[in-house]
Amino acid sequence: MDNILVWTMISILVMVGLVSVVGIISIYLERKVSAFMQDRLGPMEVGFGSLANAIIGKKTFKEGRIGLAQSLADGLKLLQKEDIVPKGADVFLFKLAPMIVFGGTFAAFAALPLAEYFVPADINIGLFYILAISSFGVTGILMAGWASNNKWGLLGALRSTAQMVSYEIPIGVSLISIVMICGTLSLKEMVLAQSGWFWNWHLFGAISHNGAIGIVLLPVMFINFLIYFTCSLAETNRAPFDIPEAESELVAGYHTEYTGMRFAIFFLAEYGAIFVGNAIAVTLFLGGWNSGIPMLDEANIPGIAPLIFITKVFVLIFVVMWVRWTLPRLRVDQLMNLCWKYLIPFTLFTFFYVTIYKVFLT
């Protein structure tokens, strides 16, 4: 009994740490990646040494050269900022909203399978749980926009709600194909099914489940992966689907009125959500903690599994950033067109394809 309690506590602490670290690293990466793409340098001044010097007020440590501590310093700054609640706002909802948004994202981290031995909450409906809990954030966004008594905020919240509710459908349908192949909702078992060589990954069909015939699923799985990836961009309000917080149109969307730490929490939650979205992609399509080459797996190199998992997720996050700094933004009606006229019919097609495969070929 005691053992379980201790183990749970450790897992929770690690996950809390992971959420913040992931947020901070992603923000730093975002600035560096965008700088790299735009012929700039990005943050260069605030290293850990400079930050420590600033805190103690003496020049004790060597100053940083590539701005590693920039996001940390930003966080410290935001902590000290005044917490403004606008006049006429619904104070209770206004203060509750960031907690709900962050809570939804954070709770989703609990079920991520970082390694076979490290799944903080190993539940048999893991996938369902993550999808359910991460869409919880919409409530918070709607609350934030409504409660802040700001017209831009309200518009942003409405856009966000319409967008996230619509894009949940193609996400759900595209993931159901994997669930059908695996016959389970447990994330851990899905990853275990993809162990061994990389062609066992679900991206390349269902070879690990049904042998060579599984290759007939390759095209639809590629489509499924692309659809899932596109929709996860929309789910996390990233460009080209960042219309809820389009800074050139809605100032800042639903978080226009938020300041200080409340704003920082929205920011952190956004990057947390990106991590979760891509972590699901890695878990379901890209083999989770498996490296794809049996020699480099956990069995041979102990402790490498979580690293493989996180590296894969960050590669996808890099792609997300790459897309953001390349593409312009869609308009609200075009966004809905894309979802209802293209993505949903395609996912339905892949869904039937997999169903037929499952019924007649296995």
Among 13, 247, 301, 362, binds another protein (CB under 8 A): 247
Query: 89 — phi, psi (to 5°)?
Result: -80, 155
Of positions 114, 131, 155, 190, contacts another protein by CB under 8 A: 155
Can you tell me the distance from the alpha carbon of 261 to that of 76, in angstroms, rounded to the nearest whole number?
9
Sequence-distant (≥ 6) Cβ neighbours of residue 83 within 8 angstroms = 259, 260, 261, 262
Examine residue 334 and tell whether it contacts another protein (CB under 8 A). Answer: yes
Instruction: Kindly state the tokens that stand for 139.
Output: 């409530």
- Tell me if 328 contacts another protein by CB under 8 A: yes
Tokens coding 196 = 């061994």
**Position of tokens 């994997």?**
178
Residue 37 binds another protein, judged by CB under 8 A = yes
Cβ closer to another protein: 138 or 335? 335
Q: Is 242 in the site for another protein (CB under 8 A)?
A: yes
Q: If binding is defined by CB under 8 A, does position 240 make contact with another protein?
A: yes
Stretch that binds another protein, among 71-79, 131-139, 247-255, 293-301 (CB under 8 A): 247-255
Beta carbons within 10 angstroms of residue 48's beta carbon: 15
Tokens of 320: 């997300």
Computed from CA positions of residues 135, 140, 145, 147, in that sequence, does the dihedral angle turn out positive or negative? positive
Q: Please pick, from the candidates 325, 348, 351, 358, the single residue that binds another protein as defined by CB under 8 A.
A: 325
CA distance 151 to 201: 46
Q: What DSSP designation does 63 have?
A: P
**Closest CB to another protein among 42 and 49?**
42
Query: If you count DSSP H runs as helices and E runs as strands, how many of each does the chain have, helices first?
Result: 14, 0
Largest interatomic CA distance in the chain? 73
Judged by CB under 8 A, the chain residues 165 through 194 that form the site for another protein are none
Residue 161 in contact with another protein, rule: CB under 8 A: no
Q: Taking the complex as a whole, how short is the minimal distance between the CB of residue 237 and another protein, in angstroms?
A: 13
Nearest distance from C-beta of residue 11 to another protein, angstroms: 39
Kindly state whether residue 40 participates in binding another protein, applying the rule CB under 8 A.
yes
Q: Which one among 52, 251, 261, 304 touches another protein, defined by CB under 8 A?
A: 251
When binding is defined by CB under 8 A, the residue of 329, 348, 351, 358 that contacts another protein is 329
Residues at the site binding another protein, with contacts judged by CB under 8 A = 34, 37-40, 151-152, 155, 158-159, 239-240, 242-243, 246-251, 325-334
